[in-house]
Amino acid sequence: MVGECLLISPKNISSNNMLVLGDNKFVACNEGSDLIQKGDLIMNVTGNVDTICNFYVYDLPMKAVASDKVIVIRSEDKYIYDKLLSKYYNIKLLIEGTVVNHVSIKNIEELEV
């Protein structure tokens, strides 16, 4: 076991794409855990219309993992953040659902950036 990792969930990502820390949840993470890496883009894929699609470029030194309500985008493209920010409203148009709003990972993968 590696130890405890910060669990990143939608409540940790603000509408101005900042990481909100405070009421943090930590989980045990193992050697094989898919840890969030510095530079990874973390995006909310569920939530209400104000919080869905909010994203943050991870830059903390602590170990972290993503909850099932966020996705991690890892890219060699150092401009991926700017490209996705320019497509923010296109991504918002991909929102589906009536009771639980969500964006499918498939739709994000198919988005041209």
* Torsional class of 64: left (φ above 0), alpha (ψ -120 to 50), beta (otherwise): beta
Separation of alpha carbons 75 and 40, rounded Å:
7
Q: pLDDT tens digit string along 7-48?
A: 999 888 888 888 888 888 999 887 666 889 988 989 888 776
Copy the structure tokens of residue 97: 């659902």
Q: What is the pTM of this model?
A: 0.72
For the chain, the average pLDDT equals 77
Q: Domains of the chain, with CATH numbers?
A: 3-110 (3.90.220.20)
DSSP string over 32-91:
T-----TT-EEEE-BS-TTTTT-EEE---SS-EEE-TTEEEE--S-TTHHHHHHHTHHHH
Length of the chain as a residue count: 113
Q: pLDDT tens digit string along 37-82?
A: 988 989 888 776 677 778 888 998 888 999 888 888 887 877 767 7
